[in-house]
């Protein structure tokens, strides 16, 4: 059952002593000190716990990257696939087993370059996925090369004169694809991330969440303090409603004076992809149950 009381939930869980329910395991953390990934994973665990999900009901598809190295640090069903391909795997899982809450994680490199085609078609197809884009404005795992989001004028490994092209703004890009859910949040603010993740988890189509992530090792230009000086909350704007795409596009643009965070756009009246198929318009079952009677254990073993 969804709740807002993290203390009472955690007390209940610690009595159960069930680390799997708390998404916690003993894997050694290898992220740099101060990396935004710590807070992102913390906020995600809080959100899932508060929304009442148990780990067996969640599947997370991870891209290759520093963000993807979170795949063995969270106790749930996880898949760590190829670079730029976190989304197609998540789409398959979400379509195949509708009882699962499917989440995908990828960096700005994997999302806005290698896998940008998948992003476009996930938005268009409304696959039921909560997508978390970790935007640290560089290729982190391969030691700080420029990504499509790197701001100009920053010396990067492999491009010491800086990025020559205009940077892409992922949330602005998605707002132009006729999406049904676009939000942005900041890795320094666990409370805000938790609020946004919970909203995204409740969206029934493709929920796009960009997390502006600090990267103290390779991104010294926009550290935590830089964000705190600029972050503004959409909900503080008088009369703000997340139902106007054109208005959302205006607020997403600024990245110098103000960096707005919050839900930019949400449309709850969407038809998920499966129900768009004429013969499945009323379908309420779970495709995974329909193939349960086929024994695939031998086939799976053949890959071992
Ligand atoms: C198709 C392909 N291209 C490039 C690589 C090399 N590679 C592995 S991780 C990575 C950087 C990932 O950066 P990003 O997606 O921004 O995630 P981050 O590490 O910053 O979290 C690259 C380029 C790869 N493994 N596969």
Rounded to an integer, the average pLDDT of 42-63 is: 94
Tell which one of 64, 82, 148, 167 to mutate to probe ligand 1, the residue whose CB is within 8 A of the most ligand atoms: 64
What secondary structure does DSSP assign to the chain, as a single string? ---S-HHHHHHHHHHHT-TTTTT---PPP-SPTT-HHHHHHHHHHHHHHHTT--GGGEEEEE-SSTGGGGTTSS-SEEEE--TT-HHHHHHHHHHH-TTSEEEEEEEHHIIIIITHHHHHHHHHHT-SEEEEEEE-SSBTTTTSB--TTPPTT--BTTBTT---SPPP-HHHHHHTT--SEEEEEETT-HHHHHHHHHHHHT-SS-EEEEEE---TTT--SS-HHHHHHHEEEGGGSTT--TT-HHHHHHHHH--SS-EEEEEEEE------HHHHSGGGTT--S-HHHHTTTS--HHHHHTT-
What does the pLDDT read at residue 244?
97
Tell which one of 73, 141, 219 to mutate to probe ligand 1, the residue whose CB is within 8 A of the most ligand atoms: 141
What does the pLDDT read at residue 121?
97
What does the pLDDT read at residue 18?
53
Q: Which domains does the chain have, with CATH numbers?
A: 31-301 (3.40.50.970)
Q: Which of 71-85, 131-145, 255-269, 289-303 has the lowest mean pLDDT?
A: 289-303
Tell which one of 32, 111, 131, 139 to mutate to probe ligand 1, the residue whose CB is within 8 A of the most ligand atoms: 139
Query: pLDDT digits over 176-222, tens only?
Result: 999 999 999 999 999 999 999 999 999 999 999 999 999 999 999 99
Rounded to an integer, the average pLDDT of 262-287 is: 86
The answer to whether residue 36 scores a pLDDT higher than 70 is: yes
Rounded to an integer, the average pLDDT of 250-273 is: 94
For atom 11 of ligand 1, the residue with the nearest CA is 139
Q: Which residues line ligand 1 (CB under 6 A)?
A: 63-67, 83-84, 107-110, 114, 134, 136, 139-142, 147
pTM here is 0.93
The answer to whether residue 280 scores a pLDDT higher than 80 is: no
What does the pLDDT read at residue 275?
78
Q: Could you tell me the end-to-end alpha-carbon distance of the chain, in angstroms, rounded to an integer?
A: 38
The answer to whether residue 16 scores a pLDDT higher than 70 is: no
Query: pLDDT digits over 65-106, tens only?
Result: 999 999 999 999 999 999 999 999 999 999 999 999 999 999
Query: pLDDT digits over 245-256, tens only?
Result: 999 999 999 998
């Amino acid at each position: 059952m969804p709740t807002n009381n993290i203390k009472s939930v955690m007390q209940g869980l610690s009595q159960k002593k069930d680390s799997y329910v708390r998404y916690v395991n003993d894997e050694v953390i290898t992220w740099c000190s101060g990396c935004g990934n710590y807070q992102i994973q913390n906020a995600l665990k809080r959100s899932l716990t508060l929304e009442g999900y148990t780990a067996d009901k969640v599947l997370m598809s991870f891209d290759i990257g520093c963000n993807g190295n979170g795949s063995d640090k969270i106790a749930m069903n996880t898949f760590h696939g190829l670079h730029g391909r976190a989304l197609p795997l998540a789409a398959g899982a979400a379509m195949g087993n509708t009882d699962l809450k499917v989440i995908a994680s990828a960096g700005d490199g994997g999302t806005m370059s290698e896998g940008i085609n998948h992003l476009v078609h996930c938005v268009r197809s409304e696959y039921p996925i909560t997508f978390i884009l970790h935007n640290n404005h560089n290729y982190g795992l391969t030691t700080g090369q420029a990504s499509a989001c790197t701001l100009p004028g920053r010396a990067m490994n492999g491009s010491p004169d800086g990025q020559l092209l205009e940077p892409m703004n992922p949330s602005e890009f998605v707002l132009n694809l006729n999406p049904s859910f676009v939000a942005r949040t900041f890795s320094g603010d666990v409370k805000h991330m938790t609020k946004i993740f919970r909203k995204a988890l409740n969206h029934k189509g493709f929920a796009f969440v960009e997390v502006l992530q600090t990267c103290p090792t390779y991104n010294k230009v926009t550290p935590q303090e830089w964000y705190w000086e600029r972050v503004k909350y959409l909900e503080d704007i008088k009369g703000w409603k997340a139902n106007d795409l054109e208005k959302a596009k205006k607020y997403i643009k600024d990245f110098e004076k103000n960096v707005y965070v919050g839900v930019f756009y949400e449309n709850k009246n969407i038809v998920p992809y499966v129900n768009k198929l004429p013969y499945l318009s009323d379908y309420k079952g779970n495709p995974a149950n329909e193939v349960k009677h086929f024994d695939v254990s031998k086939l799976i073993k053949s890959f071992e």
